[in-house]
Amino acid sequence: MTTDKLPTTLEECHELIRRLEEENRHLRHAGSVFGQLAERLNQELRAERGIYSPGGILPDRSDGAWSSQS
């Protein structure tokens, strides 16, 4: 949140709301882009490790070690 002084007029309140809504839109967009980037990174890491399966990675040994399904 901003450390600016609080608005004292109705016009200043509307301007503050407009700026906060714009900042919120930017933050939501950045969060979405970050999520997409994280998903792509996860997919690349799985591909690099050879861990591909329709259901994800699963433990296939009784000791619970993770490995790819064949």
Concatenated DSSP letters of 10-66: HHHHHHHHHHHHHHHHHHHHHHHHHHHHHHHHHHHHHHHHT---TT--EE-STT--E
For residue 31, tell me if it sits in a domain: yes
pLDDT of 46 reads 87
Q: Over the stretch 7-25, which tens digit does the pLDDT of each residue have?
A: 999 999 999 999 999 999 9
Q: Does 66 fall in a domain?
A: no
pLDDT, residue 52, reads 59
> Which tens digits make up the pLDDT trace of 30-60?
999 999 999 999 999 988 888 655 555 555 5
* Structural domains in the chain (count): 1
* In a domain? residue 19: yes
Query: Could you tell me if residue 5 is inside a domain?
Result: no
pLDDT at 70: 44
pLDDT given at position 18? 98
- Domain of residue 50 covers 10-54
Does some domain include residue 40? Answer: yes
